[in-house]
Amino acid sequence: MTANLGAITPELLIAALGVVLLVVDLVTAPSQKRLAGWIGVGGLLVALVPTAELLGGPPHFAFAETYAIDAFAAFFKGIAILSGVLVLLAAMEFFQGRKTRYEGEIYSLIVFMVLGLAMMAAAADLILLFLAIEFVSLISYVLAGALKGDPKSNEAGIKYFFFGAAASAAMLYGFSFLYGAAGTTNIYRLMQHTAFLNSGFLGLAVMLVLAGLGFKISIVPFHQWTPDVYEGAPTPITAFLSVGSKAAAFAALLRVFSVALPTYGWVTILAGLAAVTMTLGNLVALSQQNIKRMLAYSSIAHAGYMLIGVVAQGSNPAGPWSGQGAVLFYLFAYTFTNMGAFAVAIGVERALGSDAIPDYAGLSSRAPFSAFAMAVFMLSLTGIPPTALFFGKFFLFAAAINTGFLWLAVVGILNSVVSLFYYAGVIRAMYQMPAPDGAPALPETSLVRTLLTVTVAVTVFIVFFLERVISVVTGAATLGRY
């Protein structure tokens, strides 16, 4: 038991941190709730240290083979922690000056959600995976509706809850099918049985499981909740759902589908879903005039891109040229790029009280650093070199071509071209459309500048430490090789 507890040091630190934040919230005045946010940032950075140490350790199981201690899980724990740090910084900026009764509790819930995301990434048992997903989901529902005085936030929380409940029920039903047929809920033991199951029975189980996990990563046709929830939820929470929650869901998807399920059935299904998800997300994003709804459909499209890596996992077993390695690299780059875009949106929303893209007119003269950062993020989301997501898309498309999915790579490239139109629309508004007469300069606080500096630095300068990132990805992509 001592060895088991030592292996989950990051989770124990994060859990203790969440409890500490609850206590801090109880003893601080309403005007001092930001202290809980700063303690949360410091605590998560401390938890990042033992997480990094797990990247180089030998893979093994803990707690009766229900919890995987491997580089794959450690990588996604790192993404969860980093996204939690960025979200806490963004949340402190978002709630600054707002009379929000539950500000301290929100910081604590963000930390507890990081804990749930870490558990999703490491779960090696279907029961534990379901519990981790529900833990994250319940917190997500609360956070999405955290702005009690905002009807859109209330609507987001309610819609998210009802869609999520249906998706969870379907997923649990699929898990019960797999357990009933194989007699075990351990993901690594399921692989010994699923290859011998009736194809129709297995196909139904796969579709039910995919409904639950597809809901979390916002793939078509399980994406309907995304635009409304993204628009109504507090912007930092929207950012968290778009990066942290999506990354952990992909970790669960990769572990379940790569390890427990034979590849001959679901690869074709996911290839079709990837193409449809990319296309629908990008085409609908073209007509959006709200930055959060545009980024919501953008998030759907990027889920389609990442599905390419899941489809192409039959290529080289490790490294960025493999499907798994490409997904890991893409998620790392996407975390910083998308968080940066939402950070700019938070700054503009606080200053103007608007999320409308036309209101970004003249931002280059009113908030030059924010405009420059947003332009970088839009170019990266498009896949323009030498930004981080250019390399991410390159690795994904290369993995697809290596495994015989040339057509899927072509669809991805064409969709990237389409996405340029709406990403460039934001840049055009900031740099070519004039600001309203007499419009004042927008404040850029030190916190926003810090957040944007970090995210821009990773997005732009990843090329200079690309070899190191690829080395980490190569080690983390060896999923299932025990």
Rounded distance between C-alpha atoms, residue 288 and residue 281, angstroms: 11
**Tens-place pLDDT, residues 238-262:** 999 999 889 999 999 988 888 887 6
Query: Average of pLDDT values for 418-432?
Result: 91
Is 355 inside a domain boundary? yes
Number of domains in the chain: 1
- Compute the radius of gyration of the chain from its Cα atoms: 21
What is the pTM (predicted TM-score) of this model? Answer: 0.93
3-state secondary structure of 317: coil
pLDDT confidence of residue 120: 92
Q: Residue 241, Cβ neighbours under 10 Å: how many?
A: 25
Is 201 inside a domain boundary? no
Is 80 inside a domain boundary? no
Query: Average of pLDDT values for 54-66?
Result: 80
**Tens-place pLDDT, residues 16-58:** 999 999 999 888 887 788 888 899 999 999 999 998 888 877 7
Is 58 inside a domain boundary? no
Closest CA to 174 of 182, 403, 411: 182
Is 23 inside a domain boundary? no
Q: For residue 166, with 0-12 CB atoms within 10 Å meaning exposed, 13-18 middle and 19 or more buried, which class applies?
A: middle
Is 457 inside a domain boundary? yes
pLDDT confidence of residue 414: 95
Rounded distance between C-alpha atoms, residue 297 and residue 299, angstroms: 5
Which residue do the tokens 């996990």 mark?
Answer: 213
Cis omega (within 30 of 0) for bond into 386: yes
Rounded distance between C-alpha atoms, residue 168 and residue 173, angstroms: 8
Residues 167-206 as b or e (16 or more Cβ within 10 Å = b)? bbebbbebbebbbebbebbbbbbbbeebeebeeeebeebb
3-state secondary structure of 45: helix
- Identity (one letter) of the amino acid at 102? Y
Domain with 362 in it: 263-482
Is 476 inside a domain boundary? yes
- Identity (one letter) of the amino acid at 153? S
**Tens-place pLDDT, residues 306-359:** 999 888 875 444 445 677 888 999 999 999 999 999 999 988 888 887 888 888
pLDDT confidence of residue 420: 92
Strands (E), 387-479: none
Question: What tokens were used for 11?
Answer: 């989770």
What is the rounded average pLDDT for all residues in the chain? 86
Is 279 inside a domain boundary? yes
Rounded distance between C-alpha atoms, residue 408 and residue 275, angstroms: 7
The answer to whether the CB of 40 falls within 8 A of the CB of 111 is: yes
- Give yes or no for residue 283 having a pLDDT over 90: yes
**Tens-place pLDDT, residues 201-219:** 777 888 899 999 999 898 9
pLDDT confidence of residue 437: 67
